[in-house]
Amino acid sequence: MSPGSSPPRVEEHGRLDADLLDQLDAASAKYHGGVMELLHLAQLRRGSSISYLIARDDHGKPVGLAPVYTATPEWEGPVDPAVLFEPPVPVTPPKLCLAGSAGTYDNHLAVAASVGGSEARRVARALVEGSLSLARKAGCPYVMWPYLDEQQTLWLEEYRAAATAISVRDKAVLPVIWGSFEDYVMWLPHSRRTDVRRSRRRFLGSALDVREQPLVDVATEVAPLMAQTEKRYGRDIEAEQIASYFMLLGTYLDDDGFALVARKNDRPVASSIVLACGDRWILRAWGCDYAALGDEELYFNLVYYEPITRAIERGAALLDFSVGALGAKMRRGCATERLHTILIRA
């Protein structure tokens, strides 16, 4: 695209072309494609409709993508307008168009890597206008763009002033800047080092056997652990649902995702899930058999120290620990990145 060229043409599709993300040169076509496919299946089960808005340039080349999910209450927790905005937005729409995310902390709005600056904003504008048009046809009074990262937020900057509501939430990230785990420990404030070393010694000296395994191989084994943790925090999700999700995700991601499984007497007692999105590793889930807990420091080692060690060894650039429990994450060296949610009247 070049200055003065015609605005991008926006097409609406009911399925995502498997090659589209490759054509956009997305940071991780496997990761985004896999997560969007699972969102597609989940929304179909809920009776929601899904459209994929594709922006094309004068030559028909794809330059942008935005999935749009038309949903009805009850909303998924992370995208519930009643709890997302502060102060609460006094609206209870009969339908809501969710652009880019239908209940995850990733927004899948994408602009081709070859398009930058004002042209990228022009592509994003065409996709936003396409989402507003789609919302009006579907009878949705609003379009919500949840959890936009800093780059995506800049693309939508012109919509902020007139937005009905804006929510800002921090997620924790840890840039991988060390040559060894001991370098990481020495990088921490002096007051934190003793606790980290003690936790690591206790874990490594325990009877636990930690294995890194493909998701598809252990999904059914670790799902009951994840279900225990979900129920502990009031979320009633069956182990079969979790196993199906991670089995499918592992199939899409292949070797771009793995489970860390801690075994005691060859029985899984705890697990965390790591997904690779380019050189960014995303910590997606944690599960534990609470009856089997001893003094092995399972949580902090499987969720933080084991992934940090492997990320250093393999050259990952960033660990993404998502939202929530920011205090514990900051004490382990994390910084924060802002995620912006914008509610736009259609």
Q: How far apart are CA 52 and CA 277, in angstroms?
A: 21
pLDDT at 235: 85
Has domain 9-170+340-345 been given CATH number 3.40.630.30?
Answer: yes
Please give the residue that has the higher pLDDT: either 119 or 93. 119
pLDDT at 47: 87
Q: How far apart are CA 207 and CA 210, in angstroms?
A: 10
Q: How far apart are CA 187 and CA 176, in angstroms?
A: 11
Residue 9: band (very low, low, confident or very high) from pLDDT cuts 50, 70, 90: very high
Residue 4: band (very low, low, confident or very high) from pLDDT cuts 50, 70, 90: low
Distance (Å) of CA 264 to CA 181, 269, 289, 297: 24, 7, 11, 14
The whole-angstrom distance between residue 66's C-alpha and the CA centroid of its chain comes to 15
C-beta pairs of 4-9 under 8 Å, 24+ apart in sequence: 5/57, 5/58, 6/58, 7/122, 7/126, 8/55, 8/56, 8/57, 8/63, 8/64, 8/122, 8/123, 8/126, 9/55, 9/56, 9/57, 9/126
Average pLDDT for the chain: 92
Q: How far apart are CA 162 and CA 283, in angstroms?
A: 35
Bridge partners for 165 per DSSP:
343
pTM for this structure? 0.91
- Cis amide linkage into residue 182, ω under 30° from 0: no
85 has pLDDT over 90: no
177-316 matches 9-170+340-345 in CATH topology:
yes
Domain ranges of the chain: 9-170+340-345, 177-316
Tens digit of pLDDT for each residue in 57-73?
999 999 999 999 998 88
* Cβ neighbours of residue 66 closer than 8 Å, sequence gap 6 or more: 52, 53, 99, 100, 108, 109, 110, 127, 128, 130, 131
pLDDT at 246: 95
Strand locations in 217-308 (E): 257-264, 267-277, 280-288
3 has pLDDT over 60: no
5 has pLDDT over 70: no
For 177-316, which CATH superfamily applies? Gcn5-related N-acetyltransferase (GNAT) (3.40.630.30)
Tens digit of pLDDT for each residue in 100-159?
999 889 999 999 989 988 999 999 999 999 999 999 999 999 999 999 999 999 999 999
Q: How far apart are CA 263 and CA 162, in angstroms?
A: 53
